[in-house]
Amino acid sequence: MTDPIHTGAGPAASGEQPDETDAARRVMLMVAMPGVISTSLIRAIELEFPWVVVEQRLDVAAACQPFDEPLALILCEPHTLPAVEAIASEILRIHPLASAAAIEHGDREPSLHLKDALRSRLVRGVLPMNLRLDVWLSVVRLLLHGGEYFPARMFFSQIAGGASPGTASGMTDESRAIADDDELATLTARELQILEMVARGLQNKTIAAEFSLSEHTVKVHLHNIIGKLGVQNRSEAAARFREGISARADGIFRVRK
């Protein structure tokens, strides 16, 4: 994987920042269709960042409403970015610490160009779904603290004159086990989502519908999962996932340093 290009300063860099050592709480607003970020990944965020309140909405206009805690980050699918940008001034008036990031599916065509992201008043990053889970959470942490994250390939595509990507677009207690298991931790966020569905007994067709993928793409993900875990088939992979849950059911999810 190519090293990402990111900075530590964002729109909220000069303002009040969430401090994980105190009781300051912040809101993360997800504007996306159900299943884009699975319940297991949402749970992982809540476990890793107990000071974050996750809110989910379908309409970008929800970003203009007041919340009980300051709004720190808006995660949205790329096709909603124009609508978010159209009300950016109002969002920033109500939530001066807020920034936005696009959810990018590694198994879909990228739909955000670097030049559009750089022109945005709100967008300060991209959250790829094809990162290792521990790295994925690290990107979430950076964005929550007002930092910026853009995959290097966005820059390379821009330099090459291509119409490049960046973005767009999604744990349960189960996910707490992953960080302590070297092989499970090599799975991407998307692979973990699919493995969780397999462990629940869902078939490829159902999983494909859940994440708006083709059955072929699900099969490719399963092939990669089986290879990374060093098991023989999907049943063994599901068993490995369940073993990880049982072994660390009382653990605390931590980003690996």
Distance (Å, whole) CA 33 – CA 166 = 19
Q: Contact 130/86 with Cβ under 8 angstroms?
A: no
Residue range 76-101, pLDDT digits in tens = 988 888 898 899 999 999 999 999 99
pLDDT at 63 over 90: yes
pLDDT of residue 192: 82
| pLDDT attached to residue 34 | 80
Whether 113 is in a domain gets the answer yes
Q: Are both 37 and 134 inside the same structural domain?
A: yes
Helix, coil or strand: residue 253: coil
Do residue 79 and residue 191 come from a single domain?
Answer: no
pLDDT tens for residues 160-201? 444 333 333 334 444 444 444 556 777 887 888 888 888 878
Structural domain total, the chain: 2
Q: Is 210 found in the same domain as 121? A: no
Per the model's pLDDT, the better-predicted residue between 102 and 200 turns out to be 102
Tell me which residue of 87, 169, 76 sits closest to 124, measured CA to CA: 76
Query: Which of residues 159, 190, 218 is at a domain's end?
Result: 159
In angstroms, rounded to a whole number, what is the distance separating the alpha carbons of residues 253 and 178?
8
Structure-block tokens of residue 169: 């677009």
Q: Is 168 within a domain? A: no
CATH of the domain at 189: 1.10.10.10
Residue whose C-alpha is closest to residue 114's, from 151, 85, 74, 59:
151
Rounded to whole angstroms, the Cα distance separating 174 from 172 reads 5
DSSP line for 182-242? TTGGGSBHHHHHHHHHHHTT--HHHHHHHTT--HHHHHHHHHHHHHHHT-SSHHHHHHHHH
Inside any domain, residue 165: no
Q: Give the end of a domain, one of 125, 159, 193.
A: 159
Sequence-separated (6 or more) residues with CB below 8 Å from residue 176: 44, 47, 248, 249, 251, 252, 253
Average model confidence (pLDDT) across the chain: 75
Task: Find how far residue 163's CA is from the centre of its chain.
Answer: 23
In a domain, 93, yes or no: yes
pTM for the full predicted model: 0.58
Residue-wise pLDDT for 128-165, tens only, equals: 888 888 889 999 999 999 888 887 666 544 544 443 33
pLDDT at 257 over 90: no
Q: Locate 196 and state its tokens.
A: 């969780």
Q: Collapsing DSSP states into helix, strand and coil, what is residue 132?
A: strand
Q: Who contacts 95 (Cβ-Cβ below 8 Å, separation ≥6)?
A: 63, 67, 70, 71
Tell me the residue range of the domain where 220 lies.
175-247
The pLDDT value recorded for residue 106 is 63
- The C-alpha angle 72, 80, 88, rounded to 5 degrees, equals 50
Residue 224 and residue 185 share a domain: yes
Last residue of a domain, one of 133, 159, 185: 159
**Are 221 and 195 spatial neighbours (Cβ–Cβ below 8 Å)?**
no
